[in-house]
Amino acid sequence: MNEFLIFGYGVSGKAAAKLLEHQHPDSKIWVIDQRLLQLSGNLGQCTLKESKTKKLKAVVVSPGYKLDPNELEFIKDKDWLSEFEFGLMHLKPKSVIAVTGTNGKSSVVKMLEHTLNQAGIHAIAAGNIGTPTSTLAALNEHSNMVVILEVSSYQLSYLKKFMFDWSIITNITSDHLEWHGSLKHYQNSKSKLAVHTKNACIVSSQALESFAPNTVNAEMISLENPSNSDLVEKLVMNAFPRHSNRTAEHLSTYKGLKHRLEKICLNPLVINDSKATNIDATCYALSSMKQPVILLFGGKPKDGDCVKKLTKHRPSIQVVVLFGPLGAQSLEFFKTLGVDVHFFKTLKECLAPQNQELWLDSQLATLFSPGGSSFDEFQSFEDRGQFFVQALNL
């Protein structure tokens, strides 16, 4: 009987297990996870020590699972891949486009998917944006499709062999340092995409500055301060030239992502930007505003992020409503800006009906762009955004 080992049993780990079951129905699949799992059938949980007694055919690592030194030592002589690459190795689509970056990658992926489908090219978005690559591979329905993948720094960090046909890097600023350990490691993970691209990599000039010399494989097409639309247009022009004459028209019909600068009310203007999980994303949101705002800012802070980046956006901020650990540590900064400041320990407290009366103003736009992760109170930025919308009862 073949035996396999999976590190991490979240969405990606479960997708890998299903693909392994599909390919090897008589196998035994072992899982290492910090949580105590209720597994049955050919799935079982084990410790690292116990896994050393198994005759493992292969090892799959969930992208978000941070391997410790003992685990790295254990797998170095094994046949191992991340779940992301494991799924890719079993996909046979027409072509694969990868998109990464600190901010904007989800929007670019969905804009590209929309544009290609509008142009008559069958395309599907997957990867970090929702559907794991292993799930796509198990479906085995994508031989005539273009697969567009949102790729995280975690997924790139573990990437070993797979080569994408085309790629986009939106930008590279500080993020996920608690996982990577340093800004340099994070930058190297992101720029790794250019090594694993066969044709051209469309990249912002800002991101290109983070690349180590002589570390690219692809043709690098650099754009100065590109918008998301600029990146999509340039990729379509290079990868699908016969379909590029109506790209701007197709982009004009794109509706946008939920929780990313999502207008949930027009009078007064209320914007749900819960997907802003770092301060650069909040800066982008503020730069897009055409009127002064009430800014809701907070959540769980990220290592290496700096609230002082918001200084240049002071003219856009009339009132700031702070919440959570990030809000607490930013309180003194916002006081120095001379704006009206309110602080609440949690977002749930902030959005309680009696507290909304303290800061809501029908004459101002409300921008919910937290700048921190959601994990202080919520399972995801989607849960946080949904809570915000429901709490305002719009």
DSSP assigned state of 174: S
Domains 3-78 and 86-251 alike in fold: no
26: buried, middle or exposed (CB in 10 Å: 19+, 13-18, 0-12)?
exposed
Residues in the chain: 394
The CATH number, out of the four listed (3.40.50, 1.10.3470, 1.10.357, 2.60.40), of the domain defined by the range 3-78:
3.40.50
User: If you average pLDDT over every residue of the chain, what do you get?
Assistant: 92
The whole-number pLDDT of residue 92 equals: 85
pLDDT at 214: 59
Instruction: Tokens for 199, please give them.
Output: 């044709």
- For the chain, the domains span 3-78, 86-251, 262-392
Residue whose token pair is 């090892």: 59
pLDDT digits (tens, 9 = 90+) for 311-340: 999 999 999 999 999 999 999 999 999 999
CB 221, CB 200: distance < 8 Å: yes
The CATH code of the domain at 262-392 is: 3.90.190.20
Nearest-angstrom CA–CA distance, 159 and 154: 9
List the structure tokens of 371: 């700048």
Determine the average pLDDT of the residues in 147-163. 93
Tell me which CATH homologous superfamily contains domain 86-251: Mur-like, catalytic domain (3.40.1190.10)
Q: What is the pLDDT of residue 213?
A: 55
* Plot region of 225 (φ>0 → left; ψ -120 to 50 → alpha; else → beta): left
Cα 320 to Cα 215, 216, 335, 391, distances in angstroms: 43, 43, 10, 18
pLDDT digits (tens, 9 = 90+) for 44-84: 999 999 999 999 999 999 998 999 999 999 999 999 999 99
